[in-house]
Structure 1
Amino acid sequence: MQNTNECINWIEEAITKDYIRLYEHKYFSNIEKIGIGGFGKVYRASWRNSEQYFALKSFFNLDNVIAKEIVHELKLQHDIQFHNNIIKFYGVVKFDPENGDVQSKNYLLVMEYADSGTLKNYLKENFNILTWNDKYNLACQLACAHSGNVLVHQNIIKLSDFGLSKRIESSSNTQSKLFGIIPYVDPKRFGGRRKNKNSTQKYSLNEKSDVYSVGVFFWEISSGQPPFYVDLALEISQGLREDPIPDTPEDYIKIYTGT
Protein backbone atom coordinates (compact mmCIF):
# COMPACT_ATOMS: atom_id res chain seq x y z
CA MET A 1 0.00 0.00 0.00
CA GLN A 2 3.01 2.26 -0.44
CA ASN A 3 1.43 4.23 -3.26
CA THR A 4 -1.69 4.78 -1.15
CA ASN A 5 0.40 6.31 1.61
CA GLU A 6 2.24 8.38 -0.98
CA CYS A 7 -1.12 9.61 -2.25
CA ILE A 8 -2.21 10.69 1.22
CA ASN A 9 1.18 12.28 1.85
CA TRP A 10 1.02 14.14 -1.47
CA ILE A 11 -2.46 15.49 -0.68
CA GLU A 12 -1.46 16.57 2.82
CA GLU A 13 1.73 18.21 1.57
CA ALA A 14 -0.26 19.99 -1.15
CA ILE A 15 -2.66 21.26 1.53
CA THR A 16 0.22 22.49 3.68
CA LYS A 17 1.70 24.38 0.73
CA ASP A 18 -1.72 25.82 -0.20
CA TYR A 19 -1.57 23.94 -3.49
CA ILE A 20 -4.93 22.39 -2.62
CA ARG A 21 -7.54 23.91 -0.32
CA LEU A 22 -8.80 21.84 2.62
CA TYR A 23 -12.43 22.55 3.47
CA GLU A 24 -13.86 22.06 6.95
CA HIS A 25 -16.55 19.41 7.00
CA LYS A 26 -18.84 21.51 9.20
CA TYR A 27 -19.62 23.82 6.28
CA PHE A 28 -21.31 21.03 4.30
CA SER A 29 -24.89 20.04 5.11
CA ASN A 30 -27.95 18.37 3.57
CA ILE A 31 -25.69 15.74 2.05
CA GLU A 32 -27.41 13.54 -0.53
CA LYS A 33 -25.94 10.70 -2.56
CA ILE A 34 -26.63 11.40 -6.24
CA GLY A 35 -24.45 8.88 -8.04
CA ILE A 36 -22.48 5.67 -7.66
CA GLY A 37 -20.06 4.02 -10.04
CA GLY A 38 -17.45 1.33 -10.18
CA PHE A 39 -14.86 3.43 -8.38
CA GLY A 40 -16.75 5.66 -5.96
CA LYS A 41 -19.76 7.75 -5.02
CA VAL A 42 -20.84 11.32 -5.68
CA TYR A 43 -22.79 13.42 -3.19
CA ARG A 44 -24.54 16.77 -3.39
CA ALA A 45 -24.02 19.03 -0.39
CA SER A 46 -25.22 22.48 0.63
CA TRP A 47 -22.60 25.09 1.45
CA ARG A 48 -23.13 26.76 4.83
CA ASN A 49 -26.85 25.84 4.76
CA SER A 50 -27.36 28.01 1.67
CA GLU A 51 -28.75 27.20 -1.77
CA GLN A 52 -25.22 26.93 -3.15
CA TYR A 53 -24.28 23.32 -3.83
CA PHE A 54 -21.06 21.40 -4.27
CA ALA A 55 -20.43 17.87 -5.50
CA LEU A 56 -18.34 15.66 -3.21
CA LYS A 57 -16.59 12.75 -4.92
CA SER A 58 -15.45 9.76 -2.85
CA PHE A 59 -13.54 6.62 -3.87
CA PHE A 60 -13.87 2.94 -2.99
CA ASN A 61 -10.89 0.91 -1.80
CA LEU A 62 -8.01 3.34 -2.07
CA ASP A 63 -5.56 0.80 -3.46
CA ASN A 64 -2.28 1.55 -5.20
CA VAL A 65 -3.78 2.02 -8.66
CA ILE A 66 -6.65 4.25 -7.57
CA ALA A 67 -4.38 6.31 -5.31
CA LYS A 68 -1.99 6.97 -8.20
CA GLU A 69 -4.84 7.97 -10.52
CA ILE A 70 -6.40 10.28 -7.93
CA VAL A 71 -3.12 12.17 -7.60
CA HIS A 72 -2.93 12.39 -11.40
CA GLU A 73 -6.50 13.72 -11.49
CA LEU A 74 -5.84 16.27 -8.75
CA LYS A 75 -2.80 17.61 -10.57
CA LEU A 76 -4.75 17.99 -13.81
CA GLN A 77 -7.70 19.59 -12.06
CA HIS A 78 -5.43 22.06 -10.30
CA ASP A 79 -3.49 22.97 -13.44
CA ILE A 80 -6.50 23.38 -15.72
CA GLN A 81 -8.83 25.80 -13.97
CA PHE A 82 -11.50 28.30 -14.94
CA HIS A 83 -12.34 26.84 -18.34
CA ASN A 84 -16.06 27.31 -18.78
CA ASN A 85 -16.49 23.77 -20.11
CA ILE A 86 -14.66 22.00 -17.30
CA ILE A 87 -16.22 21.14 -13.94
CA LYS A 88 -14.30 23.21 -11.40
CA PHE A 89 -12.19 21.55 -8.73
CA TYR A 90 -12.19 23.53 -5.49
CA GLY A 91 -10.27 21.35 -3.04
CA VAL A 92 -10.75 18.43 -0.67
CA VAL A 93 -12.60 17.66 2.55
CA LYS A 94 -11.92 14.87 5.04
CA PHE A 95 -14.89 13.04 6.56
CA ASP A 96 -17.32 10.20 5.88
CA PRO A 97 -20.47 11.61 4.25
CA GLU A 98 -22.40 8.41 5.03
CA ASN A 99 -22.19 8.77 8.81
CA GLY A 100 -20.54 12.13 9.40
CA ASP A 101 -17.42 10.52 10.89
CA VAL A 102 -14.82 13.29 11.08
CA GLN A 103 -12.13 10.79 12.06
CA SER A 104 -12.28 9.22 8.63
CA LYS A 105 -8.97 9.08 6.80
CA ASN A 106 -10.61 9.34 3.40
CA TYR A 107 -10.47 12.52 1.36
CA LEU A 108 -13.31 13.62 -0.88
CA LEU A 109 -12.89 15.90 -3.88
CA VAL A 110 -14.91 19.12 -3.66
CA MET A 111 -16.21 19.86 -7.15
CA GLU A 112 -18.60 22.17 -8.95
CA TYR A 113 -22.14 20.78 -8.88
CA ALA A 114 -23.88 20.39 -12.24
CA ASP A 115 -27.54 21.23 -11.66
CA SER A 116 -28.89 19.37 -14.70
CA GLY A 117 -26.99 16.12 -14.24
CA THR A 118 -25.74 14.16 -17.22
CA LEU A 119 -26.27 15.15 -20.83
CA LYS A 120 -28.54 12.12 -21.19
CA ASN A 121 -30.80 13.28 -18.35
CA TYR A 122 -30.71 16.88 -19.53
CA LEU A 123 -31.94 15.92 -23.00
CA LYS A 124 -34.61 13.69 -21.50
CA GLU A 125 -35.97 16.53 -19.36
CA ASN A 126 -35.55 19.45 -21.78
CA PHE A 127 -35.53 18.13 -25.34
CA ASN A 128 -39.05 19.31 -26.20
CA ILE A 129 -38.17 22.94 -25.43
CA LEU A 130 -34.75 23.00 -27.12
CA THR A 131 -34.51 24.97 -30.35
CA TRP A 132 -32.01 24.15 -33.08
CA ASN A 133 -29.99 27.14 -31.92
CA ASP A 134 -29.85 25.53 -28.47
CA LYS A 135 -28.68 22.26 -30.03
CA TYR A 136 -26.01 24.03 -32.10
CA ASN A 137 -24.81 25.72 -28.92
CA LEU A 138 -24.60 22.43 -27.02
CA ALA A 139 -22.80 20.77 -29.93
CA CYS A 140 -20.20 23.56 -30.13
CA GLN A 141 -19.55 23.30 -26.40
CA LEU A 142 -19.25 19.53 -26.63
CA ALA A 143 -16.72 19.84 -29.44
CA CYS A 144 -14.59 21.82 -27.00
CA ALA A 145 -15.02 19.25 -24.24
CA HIS A 146 -14.02 16.16 -26.29
CA SER A 147 -15.26 13.69 -23.68
CA GLY A 148 -17.97 11.27 -22.76
CA ASN A 149 -17.84 12.46 -19.15
CA VAL A 150 -20.36 15.16 -19.90
CA LEU A 151 -22.59 17.04 -17.45
CA VAL A 152 -24.78 20.11 -17.90
CA HIS A 153 -24.85 23.12 -15.58
CA GLN A 154 -27.09 26.10 -16.32
CA ASN A 155 -27.36 24.96 -19.96
CA ILE A 156 -23.57 24.76 -20.29
CA ILE A 157 -21.80 21.52 -21.23
CA LYS A 158 -19.23 20.53 -18.61
CA LEU A 159 -16.39 18.00 -18.78
CA SER A 160 -16.64 16.23 -15.42
CA ASP A 161 -13.18 14.66 -15.25
CA PHE A 162 -10.23 13.70 -17.41
CA GLY A 163 -11.07 10.02 -17.86
CA LEU A 164 -10.28 9.07 -14.27
CA SER A 165 -12.79 6.22 -14.12
CA LYS A 166 -11.64 4.90 -17.51
CA ARG A 167 -7.98 4.93 -16.44
CA ILE A 168 -8.78 3.22 -13.14
CA GLU A 169 -10.69 0.48 -14.93
CA SER A 170 -7.88 0.02 -17.44
CA SER A 171 -5.11 0.10 -14.83
CA SER A 172 -6.96 -2.32 -12.56
CA ASN A 173 -7.39 -4.82 -15.42
CA THR A 174 -11.14 -4.97 -14.73
CA GLN A 175 -13.72 -6.01 -17.33
CA SER A 176 -15.14 -2.82 -18.79
CA LYS A 177 -18.92 -2.53 -18.63
CA LEU A 178 -19.48 -1.66 -22.26
CA PHE A 179 -23.23 -2.12 -22.55
CA GLY A 180 -24.01 1.59 -22.25
CA ILE A 181 -20.94 3.00 -23.99
CA ILE A 182 -20.49 0.76 -27.05
CA PRO A 183 -22.31 3.19 -29.39
CA TYR A 184 -19.88 5.96 -28.40
CA VAL A 185 -16.67 3.97 -28.98
CA ASP A 186 -14.72 4.03 -32.24
CA PRO A 187 -15.95 0.90 -34.14
CA LYS A 188 -12.36 -0.01 -35.01
CA ARG A 189 -11.90 -0.86 -31.34
CA PHE A 190 -14.26 -3.80 -31.84
CA GLY A 191 -12.65 -4.93 -35.07
CA GLY A 192 -10.37 -7.38 -33.34
CA ARG A 193 -6.69 -6.81 -34.03
CA ARG A 194 -4.54 -5.15 -36.63
CA LYS A 195 -1.21 -6.42 -37.93
CA ASN A 196 2.02 -4.73 -36.91
CA LYS A 197 4.79 -6.34 -38.95
CA ASN A 198 5.09 -9.85 -37.51
CA SER A 199 2.85 -9.31 -34.51
CA THR A 200 -0.72 -8.32 -33.83
CA GLN A 201 -2.17 -5.88 -31.34
CA LYS A 202 -5.47 -4.37 -30.35
CA TYR A 203 -6.48 -1.18 -32.11
CA SER A 204 -5.56 1.80 -29.95
CA LEU A 205 -8.01 4.64 -29.52
CA ASN A 206 -6.68 7.98 -30.78
CA GLU A 207 -7.74 11.52 -31.69
CA LYS A 208 -9.85 10.25 -34.59
CA SER A 209 -11.62 8.01 -32.09
CA ASP A 210 -12.44 11.09 -30.02
CA VAL A 211 -13.88 12.78 -33.10
CA TYR A 212 -16.09 9.74 -33.73
CA SER A 213 -17.33 9.77 -30.12
CA VAL A 214 -18.11 13.48 -30.24
CA GLY A 215 -20.02 12.92 -33.49
CA VAL A 216 -22.21 10.35 -31.75
CA PHE A 217 -22.97 12.89 -29.05
CA PHE A 218 -23.94 15.40 -31.74
CA TRP A 219 -26.46 12.88 -33.06
CA GLU A 220 -27.76 12.33 -29.51
CA ILE A 221 -28.28 16.07 -29.07
CA SER A 222 -30.25 16.18 -32.33
CA SER A 223 -32.43 13.19 -31.41
CA GLY A 224 -32.88 13.64 -27.68
CA GLN A 225 -31.92 10.04 -26.91
CA PRO A 226 -28.83 7.82 -26.85
CA PRO A 227 -28.05 5.94 -30.08
CA PHE A 228 -29.35 2.38 -30.45
CA TYR A 229 -31.31 0.50 -27.83
CA VAL A 230 -29.13 -2.56 -27.31
CA ASP A 231 -25.43 -3.28 -27.39
CA LEU A 232 -24.54 -4.03 -30.99
CA ALA A 233 -20.75 -4.20 -30.98
CA LEU A 234 -20.54 -6.52 -33.99
CA GLU A 235 -23.07 -4.59 -36.08
CA ILE A 236 -21.50 -1.22 -35.22
CA SER A 237 -18.01 -2.50 -36.08
CA GLN A 238 -19.43 -3.59 -39.45
CA GLY A 239 -20.79 -0.15 -40.23
CA LEU A 240 -24.18 0.14 -38.52
CA ARG A 241 -25.01 3.81 -37.87
CA GLU A 242 -28.06 5.80 -36.85
CA ASP A 243 -29.68 7.83 -39.64
CA PRO A 244 -30.01 11.61 -39.26
CA ILE A 245 -33.21 12.66 -37.51
CA PRO A 246 -35.88 14.01 -39.92
CA ASP A 247 -35.86 17.82 -40.25
CA THR A 248 -32.30 18.09 -38.93
CA PRO A 249 -30.65 21.10 -40.65
CA GLU A 250 -28.13 20.03 -43.30
CA ASP A 251 -25.40 22.16 -41.73
CA TYR A 252 -25.83 20.33 -38.43
CA ILE A 253 -25.66 16.92 -40.13
CA LYS A 254 -22.41 17.96 -41.82
CA ILE A 255 -20.88 18.69 -38.41
CA TYR A 256 -21.05 15.08 -37.26
CA THR A 257 -20.92 13.20 -40.58
CA GLY A 258 -18.14 15.20 -42.22
CA THR A 259 -20.03 15.19 -45.52
Structure 2
Amino acid sequence: MTNIQLTILLEKYAETITKVNHKNIIEFFGITQDYEADNYYMVLQYAGNGDLEHYLNAHFSKLKWPTKIRMAQEISSGIDCLHNANIVHRDLHNKNILVHGDRMIITDFGLSLSLDNVAASIRSRVYGRCEYSDPQYINATSEYKWNKYSDIYSLGVLFWELSSGVPPFKAFKNRVTRMSMHLIR
Protein backbone atom coordinates (compact mmCIF):
# COMPACT_ATOMS: atom_id res chain seq x y z
CA MET A 1 0.00 0.00 0.00
CA THR A 2 1.42 3.38 -0.99
CA ASN A 3 1.54 6.35 1.38
CA ILE A 4 -1.16 8.04 -0.69
CA GLN A 5 -3.46 5.00 -0.43
CA LEU A 6 -2.78 4.75 3.30
CA THR A 7 -3.47 8.45 3.78
CA ILE A 8 -6.79 8.12 1.93
CA LEU A 9 -7.73 5.08 4.01
CA LEU A 10 -6.85 6.83 7.29
CA GLU A 11 -8.78 9.95 6.25
CA LYS A 12 -11.83 7.82 5.41
CA TYR A 13 -11.57 6.04 8.77
CA ALA A 14 -11.24 9.36 10.62
CA GLU A 15 -14.13 10.90 8.69
CA THR A 16 -16.40 7.96 9.49
CA ILE A 17 -15.56 7.62 13.15
CA THR A 18 -15.77 11.35 13.90
CA LYS A 19 -19.35 11.50 12.57
CA VAL A 20 -20.53 9.75 15.72
CA ASN A 21 -19.99 10.31 19.42
CA HIS A 22 -21.27 7.47 21.57
CA LYS A 23 -20.06 5.66 24.68
CA ASN A 24 -20.17 2.30 22.85
CA ILE A 25 -18.15 3.43 19.82
CA ILE A 26 -14.37 3.73 20.01
CA GLU A 27 -13.18 7.27 20.53
CA PHE A 28 -10.77 8.60 17.91
CA PHE A 29 -8.10 11.06 19.07
CA GLY A 30 -6.07 11.54 15.91
CA ILE A 31 -3.40 10.26 13.55
CA THR A 32 0.34 10.61 14.03
CA GLN A 33 3.32 9.73 11.89
CA ASP A 34 6.72 8.27 12.73
CA TYR A 35 8.79 10.01 10.05
CA GLU A 36 11.89 7.85 10.59
CA ALA A 37 10.00 4.57 10.10
CA ASP A 38 7.54 6.17 7.66
CA ASN A 39 4.60 4.69 9.59
CA TYR A 40 1.25 6.18 10.50
CA TYR A 41 -0.59 5.42 13.73
CA MET A 42 -4.16 6.03 14.79
CA VAL A 43 -4.61 7.15 18.37
CA LEU A 44 -7.77 5.55 19.76
CA GLN A 45 -9.43 5.05 23.11
CA TYR A 46 -7.86 2.42 25.36
CA ALA A 47 -9.89 -0.73 26.07
CA GLY A 48 -8.32 -2.70 28.89
CA ASN A 49 -10.13 -6.04 28.66
CA GLY A 50 -9.36 -6.95 25.05
CA ASP A 51 -11.86 -8.09 22.45
CA LEU A 52 -15.17 -9.84 23.03
CA GLU A 53 -13.92 -13.21 21.80
CA HIS A 54 -11.14 -13.36 24.38
CA TYR A 55 -13.33 -11.85 27.08
CA LEU A 56 -16.01 -14.52 26.60
CA ASN A 57 -13.39 -17.28 26.53
CA ALA A 58 -12.04 -16.08 29.88
CA HIS A 59 -15.25 -15.03 31.66
CA PHE A 60 -18.29 -16.70 30.09
CA SER A 61 -18.92 -19.20 32.88
CA LYS A 62 -19.13 -16.34 35.41
CA LEU A 63 -21.43 -14.08 33.39
CA LYS A 64 -25.03 -13.86 34.58
CA TRP A 65 -27.96 -13.24 32.22
CA PRO A 66 -28.46 -9.59 33.28
CA THR A 67 -24.82 -8.90 32.34
CA LYS A 68 -25.16 -10.67 28.98
CA ILE A 69 -28.33 -8.69 28.24
CA ARG A 70 -26.61 -5.40 29.16
CA MET A 71 -23.68 -6.30 26.88
CA ALA A 72 -26.10 -6.99 24.00
CA GLN A 73 -27.93 -3.72 24.68
CA GLU A 74 -24.68 -1.74 24.61
CA ILE A 75 -23.58 -3.24 21.30
CA SER A 76 -27.09 -2.58 19.91
CA SER A 77 -26.98 1.00 21.14
CA GLY A 78 -23.68 1.60 19.35
CA ILE A 79 -25.02 0.09 16.11
CA ASP A 80 -28.18 2.20 16.45
CA CYS A 81 -26.00 5.32 16.69
CA LEU A 82 -24.09 4.30 13.55
CA HIS A 83 -27.28 3.57 11.64
CA ASN A 84 -28.83 6.88 12.72
CA ALA A 85 -25.75 8.53 11.18
CA ASN A 86 -26.40 6.44 8.03
CA ILE A 87 -23.23 4.38 8.55
CA VAL A 88 -23.02 0.62 8.02
CA HIS A 89 -20.15 -1.11 9.86
CA ARG A 90 -19.90 -4.14 7.48
CA ASP A 91 -17.43 -6.05 9.66
CA LEU A 92 -19.19 -6.54 12.97
CA HIS A 93 -17.82 -9.58 14.84
CA ASN A 94 -16.37 -10.63 18.18
CA LYS A 95 -12.90 -9.25 17.43
CA ASN A 96 -14.32 -5.82 16.58
CA ILE A 97 -16.09 -5.43 19.91
CA LEU A 98 -13.72 -4.33 22.66
CA VAL A 99 -14.39 -4.56 26.38
CA HIS A 100 -13.31 -1.77 28.71
CA GLY A 101 -14.27 -2.38 32.32
CA ASP A 102 -17.80 -3.62 31.83
CA ARG A 103 -18.50 -1.51 28.74
CA MET A 104 -18.77 -2.79 25.15
CA ILE A 105 -17.02 -0.65 22.51
CA ILE A 106 -17.45 -1.10 18.75
CA THR A 107 -14.21 -0.62 16.83
CA ASP A 108 -12.55 -1.18 13.44
CA PHE A 109 -14.30 1.09 10.99
CA GLY A 110 -11.93 0.28 8.13
CA LEU A 111 -14.70 -1.38 6.10
CA SER A 112 -17.55 0.86 7.20
CA LEU A 113 -19.28 3.10 4.72
CA SER A 114 -21.78 5.87 4.53
CA LEU A 115 -25.04 4.84 2.90
CA ASP A 116 -25.11 8.36 1.46
CA ASN A 117 -22.47 7.08 -0.99
CA VAL A 118 -24.58 4.72 -3.10
CA ALA A 119 -21.73 3.53 -5.33
CA ALA A 120 -19.63 2.51 -2.31
CA SER A 121 -22.48 0.45 -0.94
CA ILE A 122 -22.22 -2.05 -3.82
CA ARG A 123 -20.05 -5.10 -3.14
CA SER A 124 -17.24 -5.52 -5.60
CA ARG A 125 -15.11 -7.87 -3.46
CA VAL A 126 -15.26 -10.00 -0.31
CA TYR A 127 -15.26 -8.25 3.07
CA GLY A 128 -15.44 -9.34 6.68
CA ARG A 129 -15.67 -12.72 8.38
CA CYS A 130 -18.03 -15.13 6.63
CA GLU A 131 -19.53 -16.62 9.80
CA TYR A 132 -20.80 -13.16 10.81
CA SER A 133 -21.85 -12.07 7.31
CA ASP A 134 -25.38 -11.66 6.05
CA PRO A 135 -26.36 -14.82 4.07
CA GLN A 136 -27.65 -12.63 1.24
CA TYR A 137 -24.14 -11.19 0.95
CA ILE A 138 -22.54 -14.65 1.02
CA ASN A 139 -24.99 -16.02 -1.56
CA ALA A 140 -24.99 -13.00 -3.86
CA THR A 141 -23.88 -14.04 -7.33
CA SER A 142 -23.46 -10.47 -8.48
CA GLU A 143 -23.32 -7.07 -6.89
CA TYR A 144 -24.67 -6.83 -3.36
CA LYS A 145 -25.94 -3.53 -2.01
CA TRP A 146 -24.91 -3.08 1.61
CA ASN A 147 -27.58 -1.94 4.02
CA LYS A 148 -28.30 -1.71 7.73
CA TYR A 149 -29.80 -5.21 7.74
CA SER A 150 -26.32 -6.61 7.04
CA ASP A 151 -25.20 -5.27 10.43
CA ILE A 152 -28.40 -6.55 12.08
CA TYR A 153 -27.62 -10.09 10.94
CA SER A 154 -24.10 -9.79 12.40
CA LEU A 155 -25.64 -8.43 15.59
CA GLY A 156 -27.81 -11.55 15.81
CA VAL A 157 -24.72 -13.74 15.52
CA LEU A 158 -23.13 -11.74 18.35
CA PHE A 159 -26.28 -12.21 20.47
CA TRP A 160 -26.02 -15.97 19.93
CA GLU A 161 -22.40 -15.83 21.00
CA LEU A 162 -23.22 -13.76 24.11
CA SER A 163 -25.90 -16.26 25.12
CA SER A 164 -23.98 -19.47 24.38
CA GLY A 165 -20.32 -18.50 24.70
CA VAL A 166 -19.46 -19.56 21.14
CA PRO A 167 -20.34 -18.30 17.64
CA PRO A 168 -23.23 -20.29 16.10
CA PHE A 169 -21.15 -21.90 13.39
CA LYS A 170 -18.00 -22.68 15.39
CA ALA A 171 -18.17 -26.44 14.77
CA PHE A 172 -18.45 -25.81 11.04
CA LYS A 173 -16.25 -22.72 10.85
CA ASN A 174 -13.60 -24.05 8.47
CA ARG A 175 -16.16 -25.89 6.34
CA VAL A 176 -18.52 -22.89 6.24
CA THR A 177 -15.69 -20.52 5.40
CA ARG A 178 -14.46 -22.78 2.58
CA MET A 179 -18.00 -23.25 1.22
CA SER A 180 -18.71 -19.53 1.50
CA MET A 181 -15.55 -18.63 -0.35
CA HIS A 182 -16.45 -21.17 -3.05
CA LEU A 183 -19.91 -19.62 -3.42
CA ILE A 184 -18.48 -16.11 -3.61
CA ARG A 185 -16.14 -17.02 -6.44
TM over 0.5: yes
1-side partners of 2:74 and 2:132: how far apart?
A: 17
Deviation at 1:166, TM superposition (A): 6.5
Report the secondary structure of 1:204's partner residue: coil
Aligned to 1:152: 99
Q: Is the 8 A contact 2:132 2:157 kept in 1?
A: yes
Q: Structure 2 unaligned segments of length 5 or more: list them.
A: 80-88, 114-119, 181-185
Q: Which amino acid aligns with 1:186?
A: D
Report the secondary structure of 2:105's partner residue: strand
Equivalent residues in 2 for 1:87-236, closer than 5 Å = 87-95=26-34, 103-146=36-79, 147=89, 148=92, 149-162=96-109, 164-165=110-111, 176=126, 181-193=129-141, 201-229=142-170, 230-231=173-174, 232=176, 234=179
Structure with greater helix percent:
2
User: For 1:30-78, what per-residue CA distance to the aligned partner results, in whole angstroms no more than 9, with x for missing partners?
Assistant: xxxxxxxxxxxxxxxxxxxxxxxxxxxxxxx444433212111122333
2-side partners of 1:216 and 1:127: how far apart?
A: 16
Q: Structure 1 unaligned segments of length 5 or more: list them.
A: 1-60, 96-101, 194-200, 236-259
When the two structures are aligned, how many residues end up with a matched partner? Answer: 154
User: For 1:170-213, what per-residue CA distance to the aligned partner results, in whole angstroms no more than 9, with x for missing partners?
Assistant: 9xx997576xx2121111112243xxxxxxx3332321221111
Q: Aligned pair 1:84/2:23, yes or no?
A: yes
Report the secondary structure of 1:202's partner residue: coil
State the Cα RMSD in Å: 2.8
Deviation at 1:91, TM superposition (A): 2.3
Q: Which amino acid aligns with 2:46?
A: Y
User: For 1:136-193, what per-residue CA distance to the aligned partner results, in whole angstroms no more than 9, with x for missing partners?
Assistant: 000101112335121111111101132x1567xx9xx997576xx2121111112243
Deviation at 1:227, TM superposition (A): 2.3
Q: What TM-score does the superposition give when structure 2 sets the normalisation length? A: 0.70
Relative contact order: is structure 1 or structure 2 higher (C-alpha 8 Å, sep ≥ 6)? 2
Larger Rg: 1
Q: Is the 8 A contact 2:130 2:138 kept in 1?
A: no
Determine what percentage of the aligned residue pairs are the same residue.
30
Give the direction of change, closer, same or farther, for the CA distance of 1:190–1:93 in structure 2 (3 Å limit): closer
Q: Which amino acid aligns with 2:78?
A: A
2-side partners of 1:188 and 1:93: how far apart?
A: 39
